[in-house]
Amino acid sequence: MKLKYDFPLRRWNSFGINASAAVFCDAASLEDLRSLLLRDWQLPRAPLLLGGGSNLLFTDDYEGPVLHVGLRGIEERADGGDELLLRAAAGENWHGLVRYCVERGWGGIENLALIPGSVGAAPVQNIGAYGVELSNTLVEVELMDRDTGNIHSLSAADCLLAYRDSIFKGELKNRVVITAVTLRLSRRPKLEYSYGALTAELQRLPSADRNLRAVFEAVCRIRRSKLPDPAVIGNAGSFFKNPIIARERYERIAERFDAVPHYPLPDGQVKIPAGWLIEQCGWKGKQLGNAACYERQALVLVNPGAASGQDILNLARAIQDSVRTTFDLELTPEVTIL
Ligand code: EPU
């Protein structure tokens, strides 16, 4: 285990922000992770656990240890006929896992292709896209307690998964490190392509060709056409959550604006796409300082090259102000701001 001091984090966060860590270390085994967590660092900040760095924004240097969770390994746990349990270590790349499953004909997470980040980060915000969320396949999460180094597990139900939310953002925040997840996949998957753009892509194919791989490839095509590749232009995907509001509030907005896109939820509330709200406020494609609102999807804030974390934060705040003034709605970041 090599400790690296005053370590540049630019390549370790998908925004490509030039921050540094007081100390950086890769934890490639549970033993490494335990000893790093239990160490007396004598630094101003507690260890920051880093997966793929794809959902965080550094607004300053990190005056503490940054520990990369580098645990690897994928194993088939049990085989119950059409279903199988797959355990993947937290440091595996999420998209790599999706590809691994699609190549073997195992369905369940193909709609979550190309979501940047690591397997261990997936339960934290219950990643979701194109009609599927991690909650649809998650069985269990293995954790290391940050204070004791002990390992325990949590069933999916106990993870309190909700829209971009989980117990790891609430009660267990900063208390545990996710070390592995177990998913339930199917050898005879029921394909989900009811999301508009995905339906259109699949309907172009003869019905015999509408299979797991076709869904996977269509999701990859749609994402590539709308979302910037973090390897080319720094970003963390959607910067804000889509607000969920009471139907009466949605109706008041609908009286003032034509064709407000919205998704009614089973509990009677309504989800409004934040990308639409931001576009209505005129931010789509606009730059503020060195940060920009992406020209093809207003919900994505980007670093065209020279943005600092503070530039991105200033843009985020300006967007929140506009949306508050225009719609009387509060946008909540889905990205962790440090
Ligand atoms: N829209 C606009 N202008 C924009 C962007 C969107 O008007 O610039 C409106 C359009 O009406 C569009 C609707 O918003 O039909 C929805 O847009 P989109 O399908 O792109 O989805 P989203 O709600 O903006 C969510 C997730 C994405 C996920 C997509 C697809 C959140 C916060 N984001 O975005 O997740 O890929 O749905 O399922 O829920 C991420 O979390 O990083 C992420 C990319």
| Residues β-bridged to residue 269 | none
Question: Which residue lies with its CA nearest to atom 37 of ligand 1?
Answer: 129
Cβ 19 vs Cβ 313: under 8 Å: no
CB 116 within 8 A of CB 1: no
The phi, psi pair for 274, rounded to 5°, reads: -60, -30
Pocket lining for ligand 1, CB < 6 angstroms = 129-130, 226-227, 237-238, 241-242, 261, 273, 275-276, 279, 284, 297-299, 334
Q: Which residues, other chains included, contact 213 with Cβ-Cβ below 8 Å and sequence gap of 6+?
A: 102
The amino acid present at 84, given as its one-letter code, is L
For 29, the 3-state DSSP assignment is coil
Give the alpha-carbon dihedral of 234, 292, 165, 29, to 10 degrees. 20
Q: Residue 81 above 90 pLDDT?
A: no
Would you say 113 and 145 are in contact if contact means Cβ atoms under 8 Å apart?
no
Tokens coding 18? 């030039």
CA nearest 274: which of 329, 228, 229?
Answer: 329
**147-161: per-residue pLDDT in tens?**
999 999 999 999 999
Instruction: Give the per-residue pLDDT at 78.
Output: 73
pLDDT for the residue numbered 1: 83
Tokens 């069933």, residue? Answer: 155
Structure tokens at 171: 């009660």
What pLDDT was estimated at residue 196?
A: 86
> pLDDT tier at 208 (50, 70, 90 boundaries)?
very high
Cα angle 135, 244, 137; round to 5: 5
Tell me what the mean pLDDT of segment 100-112 comes to. 97
Between the CA of 299 and the centroid of ligand 1 the distance, in Å, is 7
Q: Which atom of ligand 1 is nearest to the CA of 294?
A: 8
Structure tokens belonging to residue 319: 């967007």
Averaged pLDDT, 42-71: 96
Compute, in angstroms, the gap from residue 2 CA to the centroid of ligand 1. 40
Q: Classify each residue of 296-314 as buried b or exposed e, where b means 16 or more C-beta atoms within 10 Å of its C-beta.
A: ebbbbbbbeeebbbbbbbb
**Residue type at 67?**
L
User: Using CA atoms, how far apart are residues 106 and 110, in angstroms rounded to an integer?
Assistant: 9
Average pLDDT of 182-190? Answer: 95
pLDDT tens column, 115-154: 999 999 999 999 999 999 999 999 999 999 999 999 999 9
Q: Best mutation site among 276, 278, 302 for ligand 1, i.e. most ligand atoms within 8 A of its Cβ?
A: 276
pLDDT at residue 79 greater than cutoff 80: no
Measured between alpha carbons, how far is residue 253 from residues 245, 248, 328 in Å?
A: 11, 9, 9
What's the average model confidence in pLDDT over 199-220?
95
For residue 135, what is the DSSP state?
A: G
Residue 264 bridge partners (DSSP): 270
User: Is the whole model's pTM more than 0.85, yes or no?
Assistant: yes
- Taking only the tens place, the pLDDT of each residue in 293-315 is 999 999 999 999 999 999 999 99
What would the two tokens of residue 225 be? 């056409």
Q: What is the pLDDT of residues 34-43, one digit of tens each?
A: 999 999 999 9
Which residues carry out catalysis?
164, 238, 334
Whole-angstrom Cα distance, residue 92 to residue 101?
13
Report the pLDDT averaged over residues 207-213: 94
The answer on pLDDT for 257 being more than 80 is: yes
Q: Which two tokens stand for residue 52?
A: 């793929």
Cα 227 to ligand 1 centre (Å): 10
Mean predicted lDDT score pLDDT of the chain? 96
275 Cα–ligand 1 center, Å: 6
Query: Which of 182, 186, 212 lies closest to 81 in space, CA to CA?
Result: 186
Q: In this predicted model, what pLDDT tens digit does every residue of 6-37 receive, in sequence order? A: 999 999 999 999 999 999 999 999 999 999 99
Model confidence at 77, pLDDT cuts 50, 70, 90, reads: confident
Q: What percent of the chain has pLDDT over 70?
A: 100
